[in-house]
Amino acid sequence: MEKEILMAKRPDRRILSNIPDPENMRRLVDRRGANYQQSEVDITDVNELFRLQSLSLRYITKMPVKVSQSFIKRKATVTFYSEDISVTGILLYSNTADAFDTDEMITLAFKIPGGAMPEGYEANVKLKGKLIRAFTKEIDGETRYYYACEFLQSLNEYMKKKRWGLSIFVASLVLLLATLTVMLMRAESVIYFKFNKSLYLYSLIAAAFLLSRYMFGMFYRNLRINPEYEPAVSIIIPVFNEEKWIQRTILSCMNQYYPVDKLEVIVVDDCSTDSTKLRAEETVELLHQEGERFKTKERLTVYQLPQNGGKREALMAGVHRAKYDLVVFVDSDSFLEPNAIRNLVQPFQDEKMGGVAGRTEVENKFTNALTKLQTVRYYIAFRIMKAAESWFDAVTCLSGPLACYRKELVLQNGEAWLNQKFLGQPATFGDDRSMTNYILKTHRTTYQDNAVCSTIVPSDTQSFLSQQMRWKRSWLRESLRALTFMWTKEPFMFLFFIIGLIVPIAAPVVVVYNLLWVPITQGIFPRTFLIGLLLMAMLMSLAHLYFRRSKLWSFGFIFVLFYEFVLLWQMPVAWVTFWKSTWGTRETPQDILEREKKLERKARRKEKWKWRNGGEKK
């Protein structure tokens, strides 16, 4: 399996560095972030605290750095490498002593590779800095000379001038042109409507649907934090065979800007067959050592189910043990930003709000081309599609990596959720869409863009395709369920929903008609269809560039092509394989059982082949 490329942050010596200290023994913003404060920071303004802390984060990386000085001290060429980098400075090392003088001005040139820093920073950089201090370390018996340099201009300011501003301008301009082009092409559909009513009607509906979603998504605004609103929250982490990530997940859930007496974390192990439970218990002990003032012994528990029951059983077991009225479901390979919970709970000031989704980012985005195209897809799916649905308080899927519910609603629907069947077959996946439907039937659901977590996505094609097939099966099943009550929502949302159901289902037929039937039977090149496909890809890619200012924007084009020629054809297959219960991306009991069945079938075929070729039949 390919090694995942993940950002490596310099660990804080304080394990729980973001929890408001009940005894006020330390501050949340360190000296680097404090330099960028406009005024005294309100401790309740957690988004500003998070912004300032982000400026001080150091990322471990090794990249060559070219250093130019005002005068050359020695003729020999000195090679410098970075030990770590932040928005405000860089730590260099070499095998040469006294390379710089304190406070000496130097010019640094380097290339930040993808995955070294947050998305958007990958670029060639050349800026001035100043030596702050020098020191030495013994590494493998050799003396290494370190030089801590402070940038005279922060990387944020440098990127705004050199690349980010240009990215926003270009993306805005081309997005406008692409939108106008789509509208002009749909005017053509109106003109030729009488020649093929079905085809051109689909074309008009699909274009209107797509443009409306982007319009609503672009104008979306996050609900602001009310400093007086701090409801108590129980975070539930269902886990099965996730020994690699469970410690990081637990730490991110505990290390929140949230009062210690209003947040608990419950880890429910679904009888893992690896060292997941051991790793979770080790994490608990590690946190207990941080100090009694954070009450970790009262707020963090690990519970193992008596027998394997699946993800829904694990979640419900956690809900029954939860002390508080709001429950947050977090996947075991998802990692929360420290301000995630504070942002996530804000919509519950509305008594009719039943559930809230946060935004999910891709953690291993720079591993390979597959994870890069998923990065663009994930961002658009949340920042545009869910944001558009939130205008009507009717988000149709509160995604599994991070979602919050009213506990009473989960308990009311718990039995039906656990025993859900579709056409007589148990519904073992799609738990997030399924629970969303139960909530949405009687209450509102929305989306909070500032409530961010990151997750590990499949980096191999087989797991990715299995995941996509599973999602399509659950989407089909839950969309049919939602039809029974979505008409009670706002009329525009109901129309939104109906079109969103029809367009993907009809898409395979439309693609076959335009790319095969028309060219073969009428000898017409599908120019208009291909241009439309290009424009759809441009909308996705440029929206990502506009918001993220990242070089990954071009992978939106690749995703659209991959969807049209590969993923789209999973839709018909999903209709006739709805009964399958394997996940494909993790070792669930259903996956293990399916693998054992495949091995048995393979063994029987092998024995049968031997018998047919004169071997001894057993």
Read off the pLDDT of residues 412-441 as tens digits, 9 standing for 90 and up. Answer: 999 999 999 877 777 778 899 999 999 999
The predicted pLDDT at position 588 comes to 53
Q: What is the pLDDT confidence band of residue 529, given thresholds at 50, 70 and 90?
A: confident
Which residue has 């980096």 as its token pair?
A: 459
The predicted pLDDT at position 618 comes to 40
The predicted pLDDT at position 208 comes to 83
Q: Do 315 and 400 touch, CB atoms closer than 8 A?
A: no
Rounded CA-CA distance 557/568 in Å is 15
Higher pLDDT, residue 185 or 394? 394
Give 355's strand partners.
Answer: 405, 445
Retrieve residue 553's tokens: 């924007």
The answer to whether residue 394 scores a pLDDT higher than 90 is yes
The predicted pLDDT at position 299 comes to 94
Q: For residue 266, how far is the Cα from the chain centroid?
A: 22
For 525-550, what is the mean pLDDT?
89
Q: Do 117 and 125 touch, CB atoms closer than 8 A?
A: no
Give 1's strand partners.
Answer: none
Rounded CA-CA distance 612/607 in Å is 9
402, 118, 84, 364: which is closest to 236 by C-alpha? Answer: 402
The predicted pLDDT at position 398 comes to 97
The contacts of residue 453 (CB under 8 Å, 6+ apart) are: 252, 330, 334, 335, 336, 337, 340, 358, 359, 360, 361, 401, 402
Rounded CA-CA distance 218/397 in Å is 19
For 297-313, what is the mean pLDDT?
93
Which residue has 């077991």 as its token pair?
A: 317
The predicted pLDDT at position 305 comes to 95
Which residue intervals of 255-358 are DSSP H helices? 276-288, 296-299, 311-321, 340-344
What is the number of other CB atoms lying within 10 angstroms of the CB of residue 546?
18
Work out the percent of the chain whose per-residue pLDDT is above 70: 86
Reported pTM: 0.89
For 75-103, what is the mean pLDDT?
83
20, 42, 406: which is closest to 225 by C-alpha? Answer: 42
257 phi and psi angles, rounded to 5 deg: -75, 75
Retrieve residue 152's tokens: 């005279």
Biggest CA–CA distance in the chain, Å, is 87
Q: What is the pLDDT confidence band of residue 580, given thresholds at 50, 70 and 90?
A: low
The predicted pLDDT at position 41 comes to 62
3 state SS of 442: coil
557, 511, 506, 507: which is closest to 380 by C-alpha? Answer: 557
Q: Do 354 and 440 touch, CB atoms closer than 8 A?
A: yes
User: What is the chain's alpha carbon radius of gyration, rounded to the nearest angstrom?
Assistant: 27
- φ/ψ bin of 191: left (φ > 0), alpha (ψ from -120 to 50), beta (otherwise): alpha
Q: What is the pLDDT confidence band of residue 617, given thresholds at 50, 70 and 90?
A: very low
Give 114's strand partners.
Answer: 117
The predicted pLDDT at position 303 comes to 95
The predicted pLDDT at position 613 comes to 66
What letter represents residue 54's amino acid?
Answer: S
What letter represents residue 229's amino acid?
Answer: Y
Higher pLDDT, residue 543 or 518? 543
The answer to whether residue 39 scores a pLDDT higher than 70 is no
β-pairing verdict for 263-269 and 300-304: parallel
Residues in the chain: 618
The answer to whether residue 75 scores a pLDDT higher than 80 is no
The predicted pLDDT at position 443 comes to 97
The predicted pLDDT at position 76 comes to 47
Retrieve residue 351's tokens: 């008594």
396 phi and psi angles, rounded to 5 deg: -85, -10
The answer to whether residue 460 scores a pLDDT higher than 70 is yes
The answer to whether residue 37 scores a pLDDT higher than 90 is no
The enclosing H or E element of 109 equals strand 105-112
Mean pLDDT of the chain: 87
The predicted pLDDT at position 587 comes to 52
Q: What is the pLDDT confidence band of residue 591, given thresholds at 50, 70 and 90?
A: low
The predicted pLDDT at position 274 comes to 93
116, 126, 114: which is closest to 155 by C-alpha? Answer: 126
For 234-254, what is the mean pLDDT?
96
Rounded CA-CA distance 240/588 in Å is 7
Work out the percent of the chain whose per-residue pLDDT is above 90: 57
The predicted pLDDT at position 522 comes to 84
567, 541, 174: which is closest to 376 by C-alpha? Answer: 541
Q: What is the pLDDT confidence band of residue 195, given thresholds at 50, 70 and 90?
A: low
Q: Do 141 and 30 touch, CB atoms closer than 8 A?
A: no
The answer to whether residue 284 scores a pLDDT higher than 60 is yes
Rounded CA-CA distance 113/378 in Å is 21
The answer to whether residue 525 scores a pLDDT higher than 90 is no
Rounded CA-CA distance 570/389 in Å is 25
Among 259-268, 440-449, 486-495, whose mean pLDDT is lowest? Answer: 486-495
- Give per-residue pLDDT as tens, 128-158: 999 999 999 988 888 899 999 999 999 999 9
For 205-213, what is the mean pLDDT?
86
The predicted pLDDT at position 231 comes to 97
The predicted pLDDT at position 416 comes to 93
β-pairing verdict for 444-455 and 353-362: parallel
